[in-house]
Amino acid sequence: MFRINSQEEWVERASHVLPGAGFGNFDPSIFISEGKGSRVWDENQKEYVDCLIGSGPMLLGHGHPEVLDAVFEQLPKGMTFFTNNSAGVELAEEICEAVKCAEQVRYVSSGGEADMYAIRLARAYTGKNKIIKFEGGYHGMSAEAQMSLAPQKLTNFPQAVPDSVGIPTSVQSEVLVAPFNDAEFVKSLITEYNDEVAAIIVEPLQRLIPPSVGFLNELRKQCDETGILLIFDEIVTGFRFAYGGAQEHYNVTPDICTLGKVIGGGFPLAAVVGSGEIMQHFDKAKVGEDGFLMQLGTLSGNPVACVAGLKTMEVLKRENAYEKMRRDGQSIANLFHKYLEPTGIDYKVLGDDTLFDVVFSKNDIKNYRDYILADSNIYQKFNHSLRLAGVFKPPGKIYVSSVLTFDDFDIMEEAICLAAKDISNLL
């Protein structure tokens, strides 16, 4: 007889073959077995409203029928070829049409790869080595990106702090770290290191922290005045904040942009995009041996991911999903206000309508150091209560999908009400 493994049994099996019993991404005690629309089920068949949505890619929910049809049509034709394919060209054309800074596209398989190559591309174009990044900003797993992502030891700016072992100490000297939302500090770094800085890399919305009014514009201005390139990491915000991404939403255009998550429709796909002048460094015939930036990947631009991404973008554009997502995000935020206000606990709803979370703090939060002062004990209790009540909310943010239903909101309201009561007992 076929035996169904429980979640607990899968955890035990994982402990023998996976470091830390997991993939390194999420709570290893959670095994999701199925997703459909706005819901997921774990291996014990507990059902949740999904506010993780695969860490962002499933903007149309799980198993969208049009995306599935596109994938099923492609699968018997071939899953990957390593060569060019027509779906990849069509997707690149749509990206260039939608994203203001994009004239050309180079595919990779993950957002971390895209950010790594964006940094390398900026160095190739400018001939300079140093990168300015912001403390708490996440840009993947490269050595540069793992500088001052979540430092436990707070040093004086612009000293970079490695967040992982295995990174050569020499990398620290090539990364200058600034506090997010402090354009004057960035200006001082540029004044001191101008002849050495290739680029500023920034998440337009840093994790949950919105840019202050004029901050991104000021970065753009400083880059224009000094010849430094501005890189927007839009792995999360691309095709989420608006069809043209955060650069459309905030009306600030970078020189280079990285995209991921949504453009693969749930399959591994990411991209570096920019002007033809900058992107020509991927073309040896144009820049020669000395200017050539080598990049290749076995699955980069594979046709299954490309057709899934192309169909996802078609549906988003056709259905004007952004209006609904923003309206739904505001409704969730209103539920937080409704049930947290009576508790008397200090809190803030921080982020964008399509991507936000509750932070338990009385302070204004403008950068990483403000953020880490929030009460993590209350936050963990709140998250745990939500999950027990059937809301699959990740630590760090709520991803709003375009397929939330009235029934989902009923479940979320009850869960938020219960979670608020649970944390009120901590006072």
Q: State the CATH number of the domain containing residue 47.
A: 3.90.1150.10
The last residue of a domain, from among 279, 297, 317: 317
Classify residue 19: in a domain, yes or no: no
Instruction: Please give the backbone phi and psi of residue 319, each rounded to the nearest 5 degrees, phi first.
Output: -90, 0
Classify residue 22: in a domain, yes or no: no
The last residue of a domain, from among 317, 342, 367: 317
pLDDT computed for residue 396 by the predictor: 86
Classify residue 8: in a domain, yes or no: no
Domain that holds residue 338: 31-63+320-424
Does residue 55 share a domain with residue 73? no
Does residue 210 share a domain with residue 169? yes
Classify residue 46: in a domain, yes or no: yes
pLDDT computed for residue 1 by the predictor: 41
Domain count of the fold of the chain: 2
H/E segment holding residue 322: helix 321-340
Q: In tens digits, what is the pLDDT along the chain, a chain of 427 residues?
A: 455 679 999 999 999 999 999 999 999 999 999 999 999 999 999 999 999 999 999 999 999 999 999 999 999 999 999 999 999 999 999 999 999 999 999 999 999 999 999 999 999 999 999 999 999 999 999 999 999 999 988 999 999 999 999 999 999 999 999 999 999 999 999 999 989 999 999 999 999 999 999 999 999 999 999 999 999 999 999 999 999 999 999 999 999 999 999 999 999 999 999 999 999 999 999 999 999 999 999 999 999 999 999 999 999 999 889 999 999 999 999 999 999 999 999 999 999 999 999 999 999 999 999 999 999 999 999 999 999 999 999 888 999 999 999 999 999 999 999 999 999 987 6
Does residue 90 share a domain with residue 75? yes
Span 57-68, pLDDT tens digits: 999 999 999 999
Does residue 400 share a domain with residue 261? no
Does residue 259 share a domain with residue 170? yes
Classify residue 1: in a domain, yes or no: no
Does residue 383 share a domain with residue 294? no
Does residue 120 share a domain with residue 108? yes
Span 183-239, pLDDT tens digits: 999 999 999 998 999 999 999 999 999 999 999 999 999 999 999 999 999 999 999
Classify residue 277: in a domain, yes or no: yes
Which residues make beta-bridge pairs with 175? 131
Does residue 342 share a domain with residue 413? yes
Classify residue 158: in a domain, yes or no: yes
The last residue of a domain, from among 317, 346, 372: 317
Cα–Cα distances (Å) from 243 to 95, 102, 381, in that order, read 10, 13, 35
Does residue 141 share a domain with residue 44? no
CATH number of domain containing 247: 3.40.640.10
Active site residues: 138, 233, 261
Q: Tell me how crowded residue 7 is: count the other CB atoms within 10 A of its CB.
A: 17
Q: What are the residues whose beta carbons fall under 8 Å from the beta carbon of 415, sequence distance 6 or more?
A: 385, 386, 389, 390, 391
pLDDT computed for residue 231 by the predictor: 98
pLDDT computed for residue 4 by the predictor: 65
Does residue 72 share a domain with residue 35? no
Classify residue 394: in a domain, yes or no: yes
Does residue 116 share a domain with residue 89? yes
Cα–Cα distances (Å) from 134 to 50, 147, 183, 247, 279, in that order, read 30, 9, 11, 18, 24
Does residue 177 share a domain with residue 35? no
